[in-house]
Amino acid sequence: MPGAGGAGAAAGWLLAFDDVQERPLAEALARAAGRPLAWVRRHRFPDGETRLTLPPALPADVVLLRGLQDPNAKLTELLLAAAGARELGATHLTLVCPYLAYMRQDIAFTPGEVVSQRHLGALLAQSFDAVVTVDPHLHRVASLDEVLPGRRGVALSAAPLLGRFVATRQPDALLLAPDDEAGRWVRAAAEAAGLAHAVCVKQRRGDRDVEVALQGASVAGRAVVVVDDVASTGRTLAAAARLALGAGALSVDVAVTHALFVGDAWEHVQAAGVRHVWSSDCVPHPSNAVGVTGLIATALAASSAAR
Protein backbone atom coordinates (compact mmCIF):
# COMPACT_ATOMS: atom_id res chain seq x y z
CA MET A 1 0.00 0.00 0.00
CA PRO A 2 1.14 3.59 -0.45
CA GLY A 3 3.65 4.62 2.17
CA ALA A 4 3.55 8.39 1.69
CA GLY A 5 1.54 11.06 0.04
CA GLY A 6 0.75 14.74 -0.01
CA ALA A 7 -2.35 16.81 -0.39
CA GLY A 8 -3.43 15.03 -3.56
CA ALA A 9 -4.46 11.72 -2.03
CA ALA A 10 -7.07 11.36 -4.81
CA ALA A 11 -4.35 11.63 -7.46
CA GLY A 12 -2.75 8.65 -9.10
CA TRP A 13 0.11 6.92 -7.39
CA LEU A 14 3.84 7.31 -7.69
CA LEU A 15 5.45 3.89 -7.98
CA ALA A 16 9.21 3.64 -7.34
CA PHE A 17 11.80 0.91 -7.00
CA ASP A 18 12.80 0.21 -3.43
CA ASP A 19 16.39 1.26 -4.04
CA VAL A 20 18.36 2.84 -1.21
CA GLN A 21 19.92 5.39 -3.56
CA GLU A 22 16.68 6.40 -5.26
CA ARG A 23 14.47 6.44 -2.17
CA PRO A 24 15.18 10.12 -1.30
CA LEU A 25 14.19 11.31 -4.78
CA ALA A 26 11.05 9.15 -4.75
CA GLU A 27 9.95 10.43 -1.37
CA ALA A 28 10.62 14.06 -2.30
CA LEU A 29 8.77 13.71 -5.62
CA ALA A 30 5.76 12.07 -3.94
CA ARG A 31 5.51 15.03 -1.56
CA ALA A 32 5.98 17.62 -4.30
CA ALA A 33 3.49 15.96 -6.67
CA GLY A 34 0.95 15.17 -3.96
CA ARG A 35 0.85 11.50 -4.95
CA PRO A 36 0.72 8.48 -2.64
CA LEU A 37 3.98 6.54 -2.88
CA ALA A 38 4.19 2.77 -3.35
CA TRP A 39 7.21 0.55 -3.87
CA VAL A 40 8.39 -2.04 -6.36
CA ARG A 41 10.08 -4.70 -4.24
CA ARG A 42 12.90 -6.77 -5.73
CA HIS A 43 14.35 -10.17 -4.98
CA ARG A 44 17.46 -11.27 -6.86
CA PHE A 45 17.84 -15.01 -7.49
CA PRO A 46 21.27 -16.71 -7.55
CA ASP A 47 21.10 -17.06 -11.35
CA GLY A 48 20.77 -13.28 -11.78
CA GLU A 49 17.05 -13.14 -12.50
CA THR A 50 14.87 -10.79 -10.46
CA ARG A 51 11.42 -11.24 -8.97
CA LEU A 52 9.46 -8.00 -8.78
CA THR A 53 6.51 -7.46 -6.44
CA LEU A 54 4.12 -4.55 -6.96
CA PRO A 55 1.08 -3.56 -4.90
CA PRO A 56 -1.69 -6.07 -5.76
CA ALA A 57 -4.05 -3.38 -7.05
CA LEU A 58 -3.08 -0.13 -8.73
CA PRO A 59 -5.14 2.94 -9.68
CA ALA A 60 -5.70 3.85 -13.32
CA ASP A 61 -3.14 6.68 -13.22
CA VAL A 62 0.37 5.56 -12.25
CA VAL A 63 3.72 7.36 -12.48
CA LEU A 64 6.70 5.00 -12.40
CA LEU A 65 10.00 6.54 -11.29
CA ARG A 66 13.24 4.97 -12.51
CA GLY A 67 16.53 6.56 -13.54
CA LEU A 68 18.52 4.69 -16.17
CA GLN A 69 22.04 5.22 -14.96
CA ASP A 70 23.59 1.73 -15.18
CA PRO A 71 20.99 1.05 -17.88
CA ASN A 72 21.83 -2.54 -18.78
CA ALA A 73 21.11 -3.62 -15.21
CA LYS A 74 17.86 -1.66 -14.99
CA LEU A 75 16.08 -1.88 -18.32
CA THR A 76 14.76 -5.43 -17.90
CA GLU A 77 13.35 -4.60 -14.47
CA LEU A 78 11.80 -1.40 -15.81
CA LEU A 79 10.01 -3.13 -18.68
CA LEU A 80 8.80 -5.95 -16.41
CA ALA A 81 7.49 -3.44 -13.85
CA ALA A 82 5.62 -1.55 -16.58
CA ALA A 83 3.96 -4.73 -17.84
CA GLY A 84 3.07 -5.75 -14.29
CA ALA A 85 1.57 -2.33 -13.55
CA ARG A 86 -0.69 -2.69 -16.60
CA GLU A 87 -1.90 -6.11 -15.40
CA LEU A 88 -2.61 -4.72 -11.92
CA GLY A 89 -4.84 -1.85 -13.03
CA ALA A 90 -2.77 1.00 -14.50
CA THR A 91 -4.38 2.28 -17.70
CA HIS A 92 -2.29 5.46 -18.03
CA LEU A 93 1.37 4.85 -17.22
CA THR A 94 3.96 7.65 -17.15
CA LEU A 95 7.66 7.00 -16.82
CA VAL A 96 9.64 9.61 -14.91
CA CYS A 97 13.22 8.90 -15.89
CA PRO A 98 15.49 11.64 -14.53
CA TYR A 99 18.43 10.23 -16.50
CA LEU A 100 17.45 8.66 -19.83
CA ALA A 101 20.25 6.50 -21.20
CA TYR A 102 21.08 5.52 -24.80
CA MET A 103 20.16 8.92 -26.27
CA ARG A 104 23.60 9.74 -27.73
CA GLN A 105 23.56 7.12 -30.49
CA ASP A 106 21.00 8.79 -32.75
CA ILE A 107 22.51 7.83 -36.13
CA ALA A 108 24.70 5.02 -37.44
CA PHE A 109 28.16 6.58 -37.58
CA THR A 110 29.58 3.51 -39.33
CA PRO A 111 27.76 0.79 -41.31
CA GLY A 112 26.12 -1.79 -39.06
CA GLU A 113 25.91 0.32 -35.90
CA VAL A 114 22.63 -0.07 -34.04
CA VAL A 115 20.87 3.28 -33.51
CA SER A 116 20.16 2.75 -29.82
CA GLN A 117 18.15 5.96 -29.36
CA ARG A 118 15.59 4.85 -31.93
CA HIS A 119 15.16 1.34 -30.59
CA LEU A 120 15.08 2.21 -26.90
CA GLY A 121 12.53 4.91 -27.71
CA ALA A 122 10.35 2.33 -29.47
CA LEU A 123 10.57 -0.03 -26.49
CA LEU A 124 9.57 2.70 -24.05
CA ALA A 125 6.72 3.78 -26.33
CA GLN A 126 5.33 0.24 -26.20
CA SER A 127 5.33 0.26 -22.40
CA PHE A 128 4.46 3.84 -21.40
CA ASP A 129 1.92 6.45 -22.42
CA ALA A 130 4.33 9.29 -21.63
CA VAL A 131 7.96 9.77 -20.63
CA VAL A 132 9.26 12.67 -18.55
CA THR A 133 13.01 13.17 -18.35
CA VAL A 134 15.60 15.85 -17.61
CA ASP A 135 18.22 17.07 -20.08
CA PRO A 136 18.23 14.11 -22.47
CA HIS A 137 21.28 14.07 -24.76
CA LEU A 138 19.44 14.91 -28.01
CA HIS A 139 21.37 16.39 -30.93
CA ARG A 140 19.79 15.60 -34.28
CA VAL A 141 16.14 15.39 -33.22
CA ALA A 142 13.97 18.39 -32.43
CA SER A 143 12.08 16.93 -29.47
CA LEU A 144 11.68 13.86 -27.29
CA ASP A 145 8.36 13.14 -29.02
CA GLU A 146 10.36 12.07 -32.08
CA VAL A 147 12.12 9.42 -30.00
CA LEU A 148 8.84 7.96 -28.69
CA PRO A 149 6.64 7.06 -31.67
CA GLY A 150 3.01 7.87 -30.92
CA ARG A 151 3.67 8.84 -27.31
CA ARG A 152 4.21 12.04 -25.34
CA GLY A 153 7.75 12.98 -24.43
CA VAL A 154 8.52 15.75 -21.96
CA ALA A 155 12.15 16.93 -21.85
CA LEU A 156 12.81 19.25 -18.93
CA SER A 157 16.05 21.10 -18.23
CA ALA A 158 17.92 21.60 -15.00
CA ALA A 159 20.25 24.16 -16.60
CA PRO A 160 18.35 27.22 -15.31
CA LEU A 161 18.28 25.73 -11.81
CA LEU A 162 22.03 25.09 -11.95
CA GLY A 163 22.68 28.60 -13.29
CA ARG A 164 20.75 30.23 -10.46
CA PHE A 165 22.51 28.01 -7.91
CA VAL A 166 25.94 28.96 -9.31
CA ALA A 167 25.00 32.64 -9.05
CA THR A 168 24.42 32.23 -5.31
CA ARG A 169 27.88 30.70 -4.87
CA GLN A 170 29.87 32.67 -7.44
CA PRO A 171 27.95 35.82 -8.49
CA ASP A 172 30.60 36.94 -10.99
CA ALA A 173 31.18 33.53 -12.59
CA LEU A 174 31.89 32.99 -16.27
CA LEU A 175 29.96 29.90 -17.37
CA LEU A 176 31.92 27.80 -19.83
CA ALA A 177 30.57 25.04 -22.10
CA PRO A 178 33.30 22.44 -22.72
CA ASP A 179 32.06 21.90 -26.31
CA ASP A 180 29.44 23.01 -28.83
CA GLU A 181 27.10 20.23 -27.72
CA ALA A 182 26.91 21.79 -24.25
CA GLY A 183 26.34 25.25 -25.69
CA ARG A 184 22.56 25.19 -25.24
CA TRP A 185 22.88 24.18 -21.58
CA VAL A 186 25.39 26.91 -20.77
CA ARG A 187 23.25 29.51 -22.55
CA ALA A 188 20.13 28.47 -20.63
CA ALA A 189 22.03 28.52 -17.34
CA ALA A 190 23.59 31.92 -18.09
CA GLU A 191 20.31 33.51 -19.15
CA ALA A 192 18.51 32.27 -16.03
CA ALA A 193 21.21 33.65 -13.74
CA GLY A 194 22.28 36.77 -15.62
CA LEU A 195 25.84 35.48 -16.01
CA ALA A 196 28.34 35.68 -18.86
CA HIS A 197 29.11 32.54 -20.84
CA ALA A 198 31.47 31.14 -23.45
CA VAL A 199 31.88 27.93 -25.46
CA CYS A 200 34.93 25.73 -26.07
CA VAL A 201 35.71 23.63 -29.14
CA LYS A 202 36.25 19.90 -28.50
CA GLN A 203 38.03 17.23 -30.46
CA ARG A 204 37.33 13.68 -29.24
CA ARG A 205 39.77 10.96 -30.26
CA GLY A 206 38.32 8.21 -28.03
CA ASP A 207 36.18 7.54 -24.98
CA ARG A 208 38.90 8.90 -22.68
CA ASP A 209 40.98 10.99 -25.10
CA VAL A 210 39.63 14.55 -25.42
CA GLU A 211 41.15 17.89 -26.38
CA VAL A 212 39.42 21.27 -26.00
CA ALA A 213 40.30 24.81 -27.04
CA LEU A 214 38.90 28.20 -26.06
CA GLN A 215 36.82 29.86 -28.74
CA GLY A 216 37.66 33.56 -28.59
CA ALA A 217 36.92 33.88 -24.87
CA SER A 218 39.17 35.34 -22.19
CA VAL A 219 39.06 33.57 -18.84
CA ALA A 220 42.04 35.36 -17.32
CA GLY A 221 41.23 36.62 -13.84
CA ARG A 222 37.76 35.06 -13.92
CA ALA A 223 36.03 32.51 -11.71
CA VAL A 224 35.01 29.87 -14.26
CA VAL A 225 32.22 27.31 -13.90
CA VAL A 226 32.16 24.56 -16.54
CA VAL A 227 28.56 23.60 -17.32
CA ASP A 228 27.47 20.37 -19.04
CA ASP A 229 24.54 17.99 -19.14
CA VAL A 230 26.47 14.91 -18.04
CA ALA A 231 29.72 13.95 -16.33
CA SER A 232 30.59 10.46 -17.52
CA THR A 233 34.30 9.69 -17.82
CA GLY A 234 35.13 13.24 -16.70
CA ARG A 235 37.71 13.69 -19.47
CA THR A 236 35.90 16.57 -21.18
CA LEU A 237 35.36 18.44 -17.91
CA ALA A 238 38.97 17.86 -16.85
CA ALA A 239 40.31 19.08 -20.20
CA ALA A 240 38.19 22.24 -19.97
CA ALA A 241 39.34 22.86 -16.39
CA ARG A 242 43.03 22.48 -17.26
CA LEU A 243 42.57 24.78 -20.26
CA ALA A 244 40.86 27.49 -18.21
CA LEU A 245 43.40 27.34 -15.40
CA GLY A 246 46.24 27.40 -17.91
CA ALA A 247 44.71 30.52 -19.48
CA GLY A 248 44.69 32.36 -16.15
CA ALA A 249 41.32 31.51 -14.58
CA LEU A 250 41.24 32.25 -10.85
CA SER A 251 39.27 29.08 -10.13
CA VAL A 252 37.30 26.38 -11.91
CA ASP A 253 34.13 24.74 -10.62
CA VAL A 254 31.78 22.34 -12.42
CA ALA A 255 27.97 22.25 -12.64
CA VAL A 256 26.29 19.27 -14.33
CA THR A 257 22.82 17.81 -14.55
CA HIS A 258 23.80 14.13 -14.49
CA ALA A 259 26.66 13.15 -12.18
CA LEU A 260 27.51 9.68 -13.51
CA PHE A 261 31.27 9.86 -12.80
CA VAL A 262 32.07 6.34 -13.96
CA GLY A 263 35.28 4.60 -12.97
CA ASP A 264 38.01 7.06 -11.99
CA ALA A 265 36.14 10.09 -13.37
CA TRP A 266 35.70 11.80 -10.00
CA GLU A 267 39.40 11.57 -9.16
CA HIS A 268 40.34 12.66 -12.67
CA VAL A 269 38.25 15.81 -12.46
CA GLN A 270 39.62 16.69 -9.04
CA ALA A 271 43.19 16.13 -10.25
CA ALA A 272 42.57 18.66 -13.05
CA GLY A 273 42.19 21.40 -10.44
CA VAL A 274 38.40 21.59 -10.17
CA ARG A 275 37.45 23.18 -6.86
CA HIS A 276 33.75 22.28 -6.47
CA VAL A 277 31.37 20.00 -8.37
CA TRP A 278 27.66 20.79 -8.15
CA SER A 279 25.06 18.50 -9.70
CA SER A 280 21.33 18.01 -9.78
CA ASP A 281 19.84 15.04 -7.94
CA CYS A 282 18.73 13.36 -11.17
CA VAL A 283 21.49 10.84 -10.45
CA PRO A 284 22.31 10.17 -6.78
CA HIS A 285 25.86 11.36 -6.05
CA PRO A 286 27.70 13.15 -3.22
CA SER A 287 27.92 16.25 -5.43
CA ASN A 288 24.11 16.68 -5.54
CA ALA A 289 23.27 20.30 -4.72
CA VAL A 290 20.20 21.15 -6.83
CA GLY A 291 16.84 19.39 -6.52
CA VAL A 292 14.65 18.66 -9.55
CA THR A 293 11.52 17.37 -7.79
CA GLY A 294 9.67 20.68 -8.10
CA LEU A 295 10.49 20.82 -11.81
CA ILE A 296 9.20 17.28 -12.38
CA ALA A 297 6.12 17.71 -10.17
CA THR A 298 5.09 20.80 -12.13
CA ALA A 299 5.44 18.89 -15.41
CA LEU A 300 3.33 16.00 -14.06
CA ALA A 301 0.61 18.39 -12.94
CA ALA A 302 0.57 20.08 -16.36
CA SER A 303 0.44 16.70 -18.11
CA SER A 304 -2.48 15.55 -15.95
CA ALA A 305 -4.38 18.79 -16.56
CA ALA A 306 -3.91 18.43 -20.32
CA ARG A 307 -5.40 14.92 -20.48
The ranges of the chain annotated as CATH 3.40.50.2020 are: 13-157+292-306, 159-290
Q: 1.10.260.40, 3.40.50.2000, 3.40.50.2020, 3.40.50.720: which CATH number matches 159-290?
A: 3.40.50.2020
pLDDT of residue 227: 96
Give the torsion sign (CA, 193, 154, 31, 83): negative
Q: Which of 35, 66, 151, 202 is catalytic?
A: 202
CB 177 within 8 A of CB 237: no
Render pLDDT for 265-297 as a digit per residue (tens, 0 to 9). Answer: 999 999 999 999 999 999 999 999 999 999 999
pLDDT in 10s for each residue of the chain, 307 residues: 575 443 334 469 999 999 999 999 999 999 999 999 999 999 999 999 999 999 999 999 999 999 999 999 899 999 999 999 999 999 999 999 999 999 988 788 889 999 999 999 999 999 999 999 999 988 777 789 889 999 999 999 999 999 999 999 999 999 999 888 888 999 999 999 999 999 887 655 544 545 556 666 788 999 999 999 999 999 989 999 998 999 999 999 999 999 999 999 999 999 999 999 999 999 999 999 999 999 999 999 998 877 7
CB 131 within 8 A of CB 151: yes
SS3 per-residue string spanning the chain: CCCECCCCCCCCEEEEECCCCCHHHHHHHHHHHCCCEEEEEEEECCCCCEEEECCCCCCCEEEEECCCCCHHHHHHHHHHHHHHHHHCCCCEEEEEECCCCCCCCCCCCCCCCCCHHHHHHHHHHHHCCEEEEECCCCCCCCCHHHHCCCCEEEEECCHHHHHHHHHHHCCCCEEEECCHHHHHHHHHHHHHHCCEEEEEEEEEEECCEEEEEECCCCCCCCEEEEEEEEECCCHHHHHHHHHHHHCCCCEEEEEEEEECCCCCHHHHHHHCCCCCEEEECCCCCCCEEECCHHHHHHHHHHHHHHC
The β-bridge relationship of strands 37-44 and 92-97 is unpaired
pLDDT of residue 9: 40
**pLDDT tens readout for residues 161-174:** 999 999 999 999 99
202 a catalytic residue: yes
Tell me phi and psi for residue 289, to 5 degrees: -135, -15
Instruction: Check residue 182 and give its pLDDT.
Output: 85
Sequence letter at residue 287: S
According to the model, what pLDDT value does residue 61 have?
A: 97
* Domain 13-157+292-306, CATH: 3.40.50.2020
pTM of the model: 0.90
